[in-house]
Amino acid sequence: MQLTFLSRAVVAVSVVLPAALTAGAWQNGTEKPKPATPAAKGTKTVNDPAYNPLTDFEKYVILNKGTERPFTGEYTHTKEAGTYTCRRCNAPLYESDSKFESECGWPSFDDEIRGAVVRKLDADGYRTEILWRKCGGHVGHVVFGEGFTKKNVRHCVNSVSMRFYKKGAELPKVVPPPAKKKP
């Protein structure tokens, strides 16, 4: 959503300003806006009815790999004991024990519940994306070597991808992935 807005803004600016001003505007340290990646991902942009229904913003992050703005997520500073599950399929993903304060603006964890997430190199070849193993939803990114904790790993996670359950609360039943249709 932000990217779409940004792209539109750039187009609008390009029309108004002389080309010399706009050319190279993205080379001054700002991130070049990436093209939206919708239809190519096929079913990933549509939430399967078997999973929990998602709001538009949850779809934007979980299905279309969006990112919530820093310091806006509901779990950024959560310190209570409990478990973080996938908002889409309920799979338990992080324990509060592995959460730490990084001041990066997003919830940070230095470990996942064993086998809960998979890592995948981004298309840009720089960042490593993390996805929920069960449903393939987007979690965030993993960053290495910053020295925040002994494990030296930071899972930078969108709050909106998760649901928090306080210690002792009953965790929701995990929704299994839908049966794959043969093409």
Instruction: Report, as residue numbers or ranges, the catalytic residues.
Output: 156
CB neighbours (10 Å) of residue 146?
13
Q: Strand 138-144 and strand 128-132: pairing?
A: antiparallel
Whether the Cβ atoms of residue 15 and residue 8 lie closer than 8 Å to each other: no
Q: What gap in Å lies between CA 152 and CA 167, rounded to an integer?
A: 26
Cβ proximity to Zn ion, 33 vs 136, nearer residue: 136
Q: How far is the CB of 115 from Zn ion (least distance, A)?
A: 13
Binding site for Zn ion (CB under 5 A): 86, 88-89, 91, 132, 134-135, 137
List, in sequence order, every residue forming a beta bridge with 159; answer none if it has no partner.
none
Measured from the CB atom, the residue of 59 and 88 that comes closer to Zn ion is: 88
Q: How far apart are CB 176 and Zn ion at their closest, in Å?
A: 10
By beta-carbon proximity to Zn ion, the closer residue of 102 and 117 is 117
DSSP 1: -
Residue 145 backbone zone (phi > 0: left; psi -120 to 50: alpha; other: beta): left
CB of 114 to Zn ion, least distance (A): 16
CB-based burial of residue 27 (10 Å sphere; 0-12 exposed, 13-18 middle, 19+ buried)? exposed
Q: H or E stretch including 129?
A: strand 128-132
Comparing C-alpha atoms, which of 78, 87, 183 is closest to residue 140? 87
Minimum CB distance to Zn ion, residue 84 (Å): 11
At position 170, the amino acid (one-letter code) is E
**Whose Cβ is closer to Zn ion: residue 87's or residue 102's?**
87
CB closer to Zn ion, 7 vs 52: 52
